[in-house]
Structure 1
Amino acid sequence: MPVFRKKRLFIILCGIIILVAMIGYSLRDRDSLTMPEKFINDTVGWVQSVIHTPVSYVASIFSNIDDIKNTYNENQLLKEKLAEYKSLIYEVQEIKEENEELRNTLDKSDSLRDFNPIHATVTSRSPERWVEQITINKGEQDGVETNMAVITAEGMIGKVQATSEFSSHVQLLSGFDQFNRISATISREEGNDDIFGLIEEYDKETDSLLFKIIDESDTEIEEGELVVSSGMGGVFPAGLMIGTVTDVIPDQYGLTNTALVEPAANMYEINNVIVVDRLLNGQEDVTAEEEDAE
């Protein structure tokens, strides 16, 4: 019995030694594999490929199903948005037709909101006056004149300060001072009176335009109300988006209120703009020239 145990321990010890030797042999750097290693590697690779192919196929089927579901949901969403867009187009068209009919009824062919857009691109911007002035590639040859409003898709950014034949300088709202004023109004829903006033300057401390209220009323001004051009200044057309009210500050005597207006447009990232040529002025000039000719 003790001899048998010794033999068994000897065999186990020899097996451990052989196993360690094989592990050490397999871990050393070699340029080629042995035949058993090659056979094992090829067998394992073949089994993996056999299992991987159907698994990948099934996984791709489920992935395609998810993609189809996502595409269907996105398609439904786009259809809804397209339907809304079409309804808005029809609504705008009906409003235009109704507006034209009302003008014809009143024998009025022009409106304070009418303007001719002159598209332009920002060509330069001085680092010293980054938030005060830009230069655009349209000038007198394109019909640009001083004091014309300049807007982007977001809203008004300023007015034309100086013009040359093929370029113009635009003074940004963020560079306005007490010598620059815009006739504006706080636009409200039907049934509520609009509040008129003047955009007088830009306050750098609050990063807001100062809207001095002329038409004082008992109606409180609320945060978030829209401020647009009124068209009463004689140069800018009505309805140009300027910004939103963030706060109202009374003067030291409590007689007038000044609203802080956050500009709607970004004054730092400006690439493409529209110079607003008010049609009403142009129509009056044409009429005056015709009368002089007669």
Structure 2
Amino acid sequence: MKLFSSKLFCWALALFLCASVLLGFNLATGRLSFLTNGTGVLVTPVQQALTRAGNFVSDVFGYFYRYDSLVEENQELEKRVQELEQKEREYYAAIDENTYLRELAGLRRKNSQFEYELAEVIGLSSDGVSTTYTLSRGEKDDIEVNDAVVTGDGLVGYVSSVGYNFCEVKPVTDISLKMGAVISRTREVVVAQGSYDLAEDGLLRLSYLKNDSDVLVGDTVETSGYGGIFPKGLLIGTITEVLPESHGISTYAKVKPAAQLDSLKKAYIIKSFTITE
């Protein structure tokens, strides 16, 4: 028959017999034949390579999955941190506002005839001699030029110009300012004013002191109420030094402002008060 005499059949039969012999050998001895071992030697590295490649691909996909998860988690954490930071800012802003409101309540109890307007410092300009503060209240809040400006510590200055929703304030150290004042302890009447020589040091000048004046370093100075701009009794500052005038006729003193002008954040504008003539 042609089927049994063909080369293909012969090769197939030979392979079948060979496989049968190898299988019988493996079953009978429990050991791998030389051919099986050889095949394993050749196939095993390929299997290892395929396994490693599969593991690598799995790790790559796992990495990107974990990366995406981490990115999403990080975004969520950043959002949470921003929310917490905003709440923290609101918390401290509320505390700050409450502090100023308590201070304002104290000022109103002390001077019930004054009408106050709480304002925030929104700008500051200075050329080394003259300083101007910009506050967040203006014409719409009934603020007017020459309104006095104070803090809980003392007198800040006066309103020098007014816009619709802001105003500009000159401090007590400004060279344009000159006001009636008294020494709190001795009640000696003097003049407090800004000075070119002292403005850079953040001080103002107390002029027209008598040579035999009983003024001492540490004495406080307050507004006298004369002149129409500032009400009576506002604390101006503390005397730091008493010196003779160059002409020798009188004495002058250096005064440190009571208000913390270098760290001013909010202030109170006195919109109305009783003028002492």
**TM-score between both structures, scaled by the size of structure 2:** 0.54
- Number of the residue aligned with 1:212: 207
Q: 5+ residue gaps in structure 2?
A: 1-105
Q: Mark the CA change 1:254 to 1:114 in structure 2 (over 3 Å): closer, same or farther.
A: farther
**Counterpart-to-counterpart distance in 2, 1:198 and 1:122:** 28
SS of equivalent residue, structure 1 residue 126 = strand
| Residue 267, structure 1, aligned to residue 266, structure 2 | no
> Is the counterpart of residue 147 in structure 1 residue 146 in structure 2?
yes
Contact kept, 8 Å, 2:206 with 2:253, in 1: the verdict is yes
* Matches of 2:127 and 2:194, distance apart in 1: 20
Shifted more, 120-129 versus 179-188: the winner is 120-129
Contact 1:130 1:268 in 2 (8 A): no
Q: How does 1:116-127 map to 2 (within 5 A)?
A: 116-126=115-125
Q: Structure 1 residue 162 and structure 2 residue 157: aligned?
A: no
CA distance in 2, matches of 1:148, 1:129: 24
The whole-number CA distance in structure 2 between the counterparts of 1:238 and 1:265 is 17
Is 1:227–2:221 an aligned residue pair? yes
- 2:187 pairs with one of 177, 181, 194: 194
Counterpart Cα distance in 2 of 1:227 and 1:129: 25
**1:278: how far off?**
3.5
1:224-254, Cα deviation, whole Å (9 max, x unpaired): 0010111011121111111001111211222
Structure 1 residue 127, shift from structure 2 partner: 6.4
Shift in Å, 1:262? 0.8
Q: Which runs of 5+ in 1 are unaligned?
A: 1-88, 97-110, 282-294
**Contact in 1 for aligned 2:225/2:232 (Cα 8 Å):** yes
Do the aligned partners of residues 213 and 257 (structure 1) sit closer, same or farther apart at CA in structure 2, a change above 3 Å counting?
A: same
Residue correspondences, number = 168
Shift of 1:128: 5.3
| RMSD after superposition | 2.9
Residues 147 and 219 (structure 1), Cα distance of their counterparts in 2 relative to 1, 3 Å cut: same
Partner of 1:137: 136
Q: Identical aligned pairs, as a percentage?
A: 28
1:143 to partner: Cα distance: 1.9
Counterpart among 240, 244, 254 of residue 246 in structure 1: 240
Whichever residue aligns with residue 198 of structure 1, its letter is V
Q: Which amino acid aligns with 2:151?
A: T
Distance 1:153 1:255 in 2: 36
Alpha-carbon deviation of 1:213?
A: 2.6
Q: Distance in 1 between matches of 2:204 and 2:145?
A: 21
Cα distance, 1:224–1:127 mapped onto 2, change above 3 Å: closer
Please state how far the C-alpha of 1:130 moved relative to its aligned partner: 10
d(CA) in 2 for partners of 1:219, 1:128: 35
Could you say if the C-alpha distance between residues 262 and 142 of structure 1 is closer, same or farther in structure 2, counting changes exceeding 3 Å?
same
Distance change >3 Å, CA 130–CA 220, structure 1 → 2 = closer
Query: Are 1:114 and 1:237, in contact at CA under 8 Å, matched by a contact in 2?
Result: no
